[in-house]
Chains A and B, each alone.
Chain A
Amino acid sequence: MHECSALPPQRPTTQAAEGLPRWRWTVADIERIAAHGFFTEFDQFELLGGEMVPMTSPAGRRHETIRIELAQHLAQLTRKDFLVAQRPQFNLNPDTFVKPDILVHLRGIKTYDLKGAEALLVVEVAETSLSYDLKVKLPIYASHGVREYWVINAVTRVTTVHRQPAGDIYTDTKELAPTERLVPSLAPALAVSLNELDLD
């Protein structure tokens, strides 16, 4: 990290009303609030079932390197009819949006309008957020029909590949080492081994 860089102001979070029924925001509400200038560029959050959950920030060097190198690699491999989106707002339902590290889908649909089952591949890179990506995000992606979901452990570079969503779980889960080829089942042209990437 550059020694002169000042950390962005970190938004305080809360769990004060744990157990109580809380206000449920919709995606439309959040967009109206954003349009009034409420959020700064540092306010990164996801909307999960109507609740605003700030994203872990800063994400860390390893996380950012894998995310950026992998996205670049996939974008180079991709055919003209695919789109590789980085950190898009992925609207899963009227009260839920997430911001996956990488989202691959067909070009004919704008990312903003994409439905869960239309995603070809969702990738989350996890450094500090491993349990969040596996325990919180996984059931959300599965229940919205996202057909393939990769969670890359930024420390070990092991990828957990989830396929066959059923209810809020995936019935086909396997872990692949960085030397193994990761082949997206819906976009096999984007096959990659993490050790091909320049991650150091």
Chain B
Amino acid sequence: MNEHFTFPPQRATTRAAEVLPRWRWTVAEVERLTANGIFSEYDKFELLGGEIVPMSPKGRRHELVREELAFRLTKLAPRGIFVASESQFNLSADTYTGPDILVRPAAIKTPDMRGGDALLLIEVADSSLAYDLKTKAPLYASNGIPEYWVIDALTLMTTVHLRPHDGVYASVDEFPPTKRLVPTLVPALTVSLDELDLG
């Protein structure tokens, strides 16, 4: 890490009002807050069921995996397929996430997408592994995302979730980095994680 690098101010989080009914923000309201300058450029968060959940800071390894994989998938992408990274994915009126990689039909712009329009969604996890597996998986399943990968940035093990049904994925399998991962809806984006140049 660059010794001259200073960390951005980390936003404090809270669980003070656990158990209580809390204020529910909509996506539209959060966008108005942003337009009114309430948030700073360092404020990265997701909106889950009306609650603002700050994203944990990304580690070096997380960013390497995310960038290299996004680059690889973009190069493989056939015409009509778009590979987006860290886009705001609006799942409902009070929920959006910022998935590490979102593969979609080029014809549907990200802000207009619904869950079922996604072709493949990938989260790279270092400190966020439990969050991606336990919180995000049911969220993505209940919004009909057809295929969801969680990549452990450290081990490069990938948990592939398929066949969303009633808020869970009916098929969940874990694969090592040597395994060729074939996205069901976009097989052209087949990749083995051990091909990535992670330095």
Contact = CB atoms under 8 A, between A and B. Distances in A.
B15 A16 contact: no
Given A23-B53, A38-B32, A15 B48 contact: no
Contact of A136 (B20, B24, B32, B48): B20
Contacts of B199: none
B54 interface: yes
B2 interface: no
Given A23-B54, A51-B22, A36 B13 contact: no
Interface string B8-36: 00011111111111111000010011001
B184 interface: no
Contact of A52 (B12, B15, B22): B22
A21 B48 contact: no
Contact of B49 (A14, A24, A32): A14
B52 interface: yes
Most chain A Cβ neighbours within 10 Å, of B13, B23, B52:
B23
Contacts of B71: none
Interface string A1-45: 000000000011111111111111000010011001010000001
Given A23-B11, A23-B53, A38 B94 contact: no
A118 interface: no
Interface residues of B, number: 31
B17 A29 contact: no
B23 A11 contact: yes
Contacts of B48: 16-17, 20
A53 interface: yes
Given A16-B50, A52-B23, A54-B21, A23 B45 contact: yes
B107 interface: no
A138 to B, nearest CB: 14
B34 to A, nearest CB: 11
A20 B53 contact: yes
Contact of A22 (B21, B32, B53, B95): B53
Contact of A38 (B19, B29, B53, B54): B29
B9 to A, nearest CB: 13
A17 B16 CA distance: 12
B38 interface: yes
Contacts of B12: 24, 50
Contact of B24 (A14, A22, A23): A14
Interface in B47-74: 48-54
A22 B45 CA distance: 9
B94 A14 contact: yes
B15 A32 contact: no
Contacts of B50: 12, 14, 16
A136 B16 CA distance: 10
Contact of B14 (A11, A22, A36, A54): A22
A14 B54 contact: no
A51 B21 contact: no
Given A16-B49, A16-B50, A24 B11 contact: yes
A157 B3 CA distance: 65
A19 B94 CA distance: 18
Given A16-B48, A22-B22, A23-B45, 18 more contacts: A14-B49, A14-B51, A15-B20, A16-B50, A16-B94, A20-B15, A21-B14, A22-B13, A22-B15, A22-B54, A23-B14, A24-B16, A33-B36, A36-B38, A38-B32, A45-B23, A52-B23, A132-B20
Interface of A: 11-24, 29, 32-33, 36, 38, 45, 48-54, 95, 132, 136
Interface of B: 11-24, 29, 32-33, 36, 38, 45, 48-54, 94-95, 131, 135
